[in-house]
Structure 1
Amino acid sequence: MLLWINGPFGGGKTQTAFELHRRLPGSVVCDPEEVGFGLHRVIPRELRPDFQELTAWRQGVVETLDLVLRKHDGPVIAPMTVVEPAYFAETVGRLREMGHDVRHFALMARPETVVRRLREREWAGLRPERWAVAQVDRCLDALAAPEFAEHIHTDEIAVREVADRIAAASGLTLTPNTDGPLRTQLRRARVAIRHIRF
């Protein structure tokens, strides 16, 4: 089974993915963004488009996830924002056509909630989020379309509850969450630090 976690930038996809991974034995996280970063590394900076515009990215994501889904004995988790319907069809849709059990979830929130979360990531000046903030309305508007369901509204619920809902909707059983508030904060900070893009 593939759990594709969609949502706007700053919507909580990565935190949710690693919460699921932590509590879902045998799972792996395969981040399609890494395929895009690899493509960007071989393209001169001044020629780099949004990597989702590259056919190579869309094909590469499908080939990579197809390989992992065929060879790995456990759930695969892919946190990735995809809001262009054609690109969604070429990735999520293509994997479904290939016979994979793909469960797609779009994490939704009010624009002000997403902007607040993005601003919180700018601590110490390590990650300016101006571009991501400018994309909030576009992403939320696109993801509201029926083809991007199932929608989970995250304004008032914690990451662990988002993970619980995804697991329940997918028929998966998570291990109990036994972490207290401090341990939860430390773990979330670790995930955030590992995913800082300089």
Structure 2
Amino acid sequence: MLLWLNGPFGGGKTQTAYEIRRRLPGSVVCDPEHVGFGLHRMLPGTLRGDFQDLPAWRRSVYEMLDLTLHRHEGTVIVPMTLVDSGYFEEIVGRLRENGHDVRHFALLAERETVLRRLRERGLPGLKRDTFAEGRLDDCLESLARPLFAEHIRTDRLTVPRVADTIAGSAGLRLTPNRDGRLRHRLRRVGIGLRHIRFD
């Protein structure tokens, strides 16, 4: 099974993906952003745009996920914002057409909630994520469409509760969450720090 965690930038996809991985033995996180970053590093700065617009990115993501689903026995978790319906069909639709069990979830929240999350992530003093903020309204509007269901409102849910909701919908059993408040906070900070981009 593949769990595609969609949502706006700052919507909690990565935190939720790693929470599920922590509590679902045998699962793995496959992050399509790494493919995009690699493609960007091969291009001169003047040619870099949204890497999702590169056909090579969409083909590569499909092929890597197809390979992983054929050869890895556990659940595959993909945290990735994907709001273009054509691109969605190229990857998610094609995986489903080829017989893979793909469960899609859009993690949604009020605009103010997402903006607050975006401003809280990262290290103090780093530049604001203007790309993510600039795409927020488009993401929220696009992801509300039926194509991108199942929708999960995360404004008042903790990351472990979001993970529980996804697992319940997908018929998966997570191990109990035994983190206290401090450990949960430290775990979130650690994941956030590991995913800071400097390029």
Q: Distance in 1 between matches of 2:33 and 2:176?
A: 29
User: Which amino acid counterpart does residue 104 of structure 1 have in structure 2?
Assistant: H
Q: CA deviation at 1:122?
A: 4.7
1:19 paired with 2:19, answer yes
- Structure 1 residue 94 corresponds to structure 2 residue 94: yes
Q: Name 1:37's counterpart in structure 2.
A: 37
State the partner residue of 1:179: 179
* Stretch deviating more after TM superposition (59-68 or 125-134): 125-134
Give the equivalent residue in structure 1 for 2:132.
132
CA contact (8 A) 1:2 1:75 kept: yes
- Alpha-carbon distance in 1 for matches of 2:50, 2:76: 25
Three-state SS of the structure 1 residue aligned to 2:5 is strand
Secondary structure of 1:157's partner? Answer: coil
Q: Write the deviation string for residues 71-115 of structure 1: whole angstroms up to 9, x where unpaired.
A: 001000000000010010101111101110000000000000000
Match for residue 82 of structure 2? 82
Distance 2:125 2:162 in 1: 28
The count of aligned residue pairs is 198
> Residue 122 of structure 2 contacts residue 192 of structure 2 at CA under 8 Å; is this kept in 1?
no
- Give the letter for the 1:84 counterpart: D
- Output one character per residue of 1:42-99: Cα deviation in whole Å (capped at 9) or x when no partner: 1111111210001000000000000000000100000000001001010111110111
Q: Distance in 2 between matches of 1:19 and 1:122?
A: 18
Q: Aligned with 2:4: secondary structure?
A: strand
In structure 2, C-alpha distance between the alignment counterparts of 1:9 and 1:143, rounded to whole Å: 12
Letter in structure 1 aligned against 2:44: P
- Residue 56 of structure 1 corresponds to 56
Counterpart CA distance in 2 for 1:171 and 1:154 is: 20
Q: Secondary structure at the match of 1:167?
A: helix
> Are the counterparts in 2 of residues 126 and 196 from structure 1 also a CA contact under 8 Å?
no
- Runs (5+) with no aligned partner, structure 2: none
Counterparts of 2:76 and 2:138 in 1: how far apart (Å)?
A: 28
Cα RMSD after superposing both structures: 0.8
* TM-score, L = length of structure 1: 0.98
- Find runs of 4+ consecutive structure 1 residues off by over 3 angstroms: none
Structure 1 stretches lacking a partner, 5+ long: none
Moved more, 65-74 or 121-130: 121-130
Question: What is the distance in 2 between the residues matched to 1:105 and 1:73?
Answer: 21
Task: Give the drift of 1:124.
Answer: 1.4
The reply on whether 1:166 has 2:166 as its aligned counterpart is: yes
Match for residue 192 of structure 2?
Answer: 192
Tell me the equivalent position of 1:69: 69
1:133 Cα deviation after fit: 1.0
TM-score by length of 2: 0.98
1:126, distance to aligned residue in structure 2 (A):
2.7
Amino acid of the structure 2 residue aligned with 1:86 = G
- How far the C-alpha of 1:146 sits from its partner, in A, is 0.2
Where 2:124 maps in the other structure, the secondary structure is helix
